[in-house]
Each structure stands twice: as structure tokens, then as C-alpha cells.
Amino acid sequence: MKKMLLVLFLITATFSMITSFRSGVNLSQASNPGDTLLYPAEKHFSNIQQLTFGGDNAEAYFSFDGKWLIFQKTYAKEGIPCDQMYIGKVPAMGEKFEYKLVSTGKGRTTCGFFTKDGKHVIYASTHLGADSCPPVPDRKKYGNKYIWPLYSSFEIFMADLNGKIVKQLTNSPGYDAEATLSPDGKKMIYTSTKDGDIELYIMDLATGKEKRITNIPGYDGGAWFSPDGKKLIWRASRPKTEAEKKEYNDLLAEGLVAPTNMEVWIAEADGSNPKQVSSFGQANWAPAYMPDSKRIIFASNHEYKRGFPFNLYTMNEDGTNLTKISRDNGFDAFPMFSPNGKKIVFCSNRNNGGTRDTNIFIADWVE
């Protein structure tokens, strides 16, 4: 979920979940004809570069100075059975992207983010629960529904760039993950089930004091502050019918959620004046404010009743001026702009040789 829960699943016979919740969703296509780095209609991308090659690479996010990326990776061929956290310097055009492990190598991790000082990272991990990867839910038990696990062993940690954990930021009996930081680096917004529902909380990193900022039944996650620090944006489900509410609560009781119907929400930075922005139907998620703190970029499958592809879109914060940005036939998601607004990083199934691999791509942004 928020930028922080990535898990392996099949959503259809040809798609699999790549892990995420900040983290979010991550679906991959079994075959991807016409491999390319750039599609003709992708007018907003220039000098696109593929950074990873193989495995499930997701939730790649810039450091505050724009010089580093943090991301999560699963790749059984390299001995990474479930998501671990990596960091690497953003390479110059044509250079190889070099990265190193910054998590413990135990359990499953998700939703990494750099701190303001550039000397630490935060991420969620299940390693206190067990050294092994937590079990993946049996989808057959739930009618093959597309579901995410809310592992109660997820807690949020701060580590230095050598991977040494210096602080545990959360400690609750429920799921704690999907964290990002405010532009001044002083506050952390994250998702937790500590009060019985899937809600958003803001924590002051210096004092540890926190405030719950969502109170409507349904999943709230994958939240970000706007670049100017004045607003919040996140994805949310809002079950309305009695059948929807029952399904939501039944899954939640088992530590699960079905994220197939989500819309984009915004609020003031303190959580006041929440409002729903999108009403497109299906899964609209991984939203973030663009550099002007007015427009929004997000991932969605709303054009396709079959549930895929997922592409990137932009819109105004009132939901108008919807514009399709990416064109891959499988999965494009997890967009983030560099702090100066000149570059965008995202994850995609493109150019994967017909595999289910999801890789990280970076490009210059063209208005």
C-alpha cells in the first residue's frame, strides 16, 4: 500500500502483483510485445533511461537533493525472494546504475524514503516478526480476488546509508507502513491499522507525537505531502453498499484488503478539509502532487474494464484536465518528480523481453 507494501500475487492469468502499498500495487504482464523504452505518444518523456534489468523493482523515490534513489527489489534469480531495500546514485545518461542493499536482508520491506539530511532512510520491514518472507495469502480462499496482505509485523525503521538501523519509528500491534516525509523533513505520514481501520497518521519525527488524520471507513494509504508542504494527497477506498462494507470488514479482520476500487483524495497538510478528487472508477492510485503543487500525477486502469494496462495520468486538483502520459501495454506506476521538477522516475513493464519483470526508468520531463 502506500509506498510501502509490495507483494507477489496474480490479478489475472497474465498479470502478477509486484509488491507494494506507498506502497502500492505492482502488476506485470506475461508478454509485452513491441518492447521499447519510449512510445511515440509519450511526449512528456525525453532522454529516457532504464536503470534496472530484471526482477520486480518498484517504488523508486528521489532523495531530497535529487542525487540518489531508494527502491525495493525482489529477484529470486539473485537470491532476493521478497522485497529488500536498495539505494543508488542517479547515474548520468549512459552510465550504469549501481546500487547497494540498505535493509537487513530479512523479512520483507516496503516503502523506502530518504530523510532530509541525506544520511538516513526510512522503510517498513517485517524482520522483527521473522527472518523469512511472510506468507502470501491464498487467493483461492477469497474467490481469486486481487488482495493485499496487511502484515502486522510491518514496522517503520530509520537506518543509515550503510544499513544500520538507528531507530524504530513505530511499534504497534497492527500494520505500519507506507511512509513519506514532509518537504522540511520534520513530519512522517504513514498508514496503520492500529485503531482497527486502515488510516493515515502524521508523526513528528523529533518528538514521536502523532495525530490520526483520516476517519472514514475504508482504506487510506500511499500518502504524500505536496512539494510546498501545504497539502496532502493519497489513495482511498470507500465501500458504500452493505455488501461492499461486509467484504471490506471481513478481509480487514484477516489482515487483508482488496485495492481494486480506489480514488485520489486531497486535504490540507494537517488533514483538514479532505475531499475526493477523482471519480473514474477502478484503481486510481500512487498519486503525487506535481512540482507546481497544483497538478496531480497518478496511475490508473480506469480506461480498461479488464483491469489492465495501468498507465500514468495527470489532472488538476479538482479532477479536470485529465491527460494520459504513458502508454505501456502492461504497467506504469509509482511516478515521482525530482526536487527541481526536471526529471521523473517511474516503474514499468516496458522493455522487459516478454517477461514479468518490472524495472525502474528515469526521464527528463517535458511540459
**Strands across the sheet containing 323-324:** 284-289, 295-300, 311-316, 323-324
Dig out the grid coordinates for 219 from the structure.
482504506
Please give the residue range of the domain that contains residue 264: 2-365
Which residue type does 367 have? E
pLDDT of residue 145: 86
Low pLDDT (below 50) residues in the chain: 1-32
Backbone phi, psi, residue 242, to 5°: -60, -35
Give Cα separations from 161 to 52, 91, 100, 102 (angstroms): 20, 18, 9, 6
pLDDT of residue 332: 98
Bridge partners of 45, per DSSP, are: 365
pLDDT of residue 34: 63
Residue range 7-27, pLDDT digits in tens:
322 233 233 333 343 433 433
Which residue type does 7 have? V
Q: What CATH number is attached to the domain comprising 344?
A: 2.120.10.30
pLDDT of residue 143: 87
Bridge partners of 199, per DSSP, are: 192
Dig out the grid coordinates for 114 from the structure.
530518504
Which residue type does 240 have? K
Residue (of 72, 73, 82) closest to 123 by Cα position:
72
pLDDT of residue 12: 35
Residue (of 185, 25, 191) closest to 114 by Cα position:
185
Give Cα separations from 81 to 24, 78, 119 (angstroms): 18, 8, 27
Dig out the grid coordinates for 184 from the structure.
522540511
pLDDT of residue 19: 39
Report the chain's mean pLDDT, rounded to a whole number.
91
pLDDT of residue 55: 98
Biggest CA-to-CA distance, the chain: 54
Contact 26, 344 (CB under 8 A): no
Bridge partners of 202, per DSSP, are: 189, 211
Number of domains in the chain: 1
How far apart CA 306 and CA 311 sit, in angstroms, is 14
Residue (of 93, 121, 97) closest to 109 by Cα position:
121
